[in-house]
Amino acid sequence: MLFLHNTSRVEDEPYPTLLQDKGFRGFPSICFMDAEGNVLAKPGRSVQAFRDGLASTKSLVVLRQKGDKATPAEQKELFLAELKLDLVAVADIQARADKLTLTDAEKGMVASKIVDGEIMAVMQKGRELGQDEMLKQLADMAKGGKTPSDAVAPNFWPAVLNWASKAKDAALAQKAFDALEKRFANDKNPNLDRAKKSWAKLLEDAKAK
Amino acid sequence: MSIRIFVPLAALLVSLLPAQNRQQPSQEDLKAKRTEKLAKEVFKKAPWVADYDKAREQAKKENKLMFAYFTRSYAG
Angle, CA of A120, A122 and A127, to the nearest 5°: 110
**Residue of higher predicted confidence among A92 and A43:** A92
- Number of domains forming the structure of chain B: 1
Helix ranges, A10-146 (H): 18-21, 47-66, 72-84, 90-98, 104-124, 126-129, 131-143
| Cross-chain CB nearest to A27 (options B52, B60, B71) | B71
Q: Which residue out of B30, B64, B66, B74 would a mutagenesis test of the A interface target, given it has the greatest number of A Cβ atoms within 10 Å?
A: B66
| Cross-chain CB nearest to A11 (options B27, B43, B53) | B27
Residue B36 C-alpha, separation from nearest chain A C-alpha, in angstroms = 11
Residue B54 lies in a domain: yes
Residue B57 lies in a domain: yes
Residue B1 lies in a domain: no
Residue B4 lies in a domain: no
Give B-chain residues touching A32 at CB under 8 angstroms: 65-68
**Quick one: angle between helices A90-98 and A72-84, nearest 10?**
160
As for the ipTM of the complex, it is 0.73
Chain B residues with at least one Cβ partner in A under 8 Å: 27, 30-31, 33-34, 37-38, 43, 46-53, 55-56, 58-60, 62-74
Q: Which of A86-95, A125-134, A196-205, B3-12 is least confident?
A: B3-12
| Cross-chain CB nearest to B70 (options A10, A14, A28) | A28
A121-177 pLDDT per residue, tens: 999 898 899 999 999 999 999 999 999 988 899 999 999 999 999 999 999 999 999
Residue B7 lies in a domain: no
Residue B20 lies in a domain: no
**Domain containing B34: what range?**
25-76
Q: What chain B residue is nearest to A16 in terms of C-alpha separation?
A: B72
Residue B72 lies in a domain: yes
Residue B3 lies in a domain: no
Give percent of chain A with pLDDT exceeding 70: 100
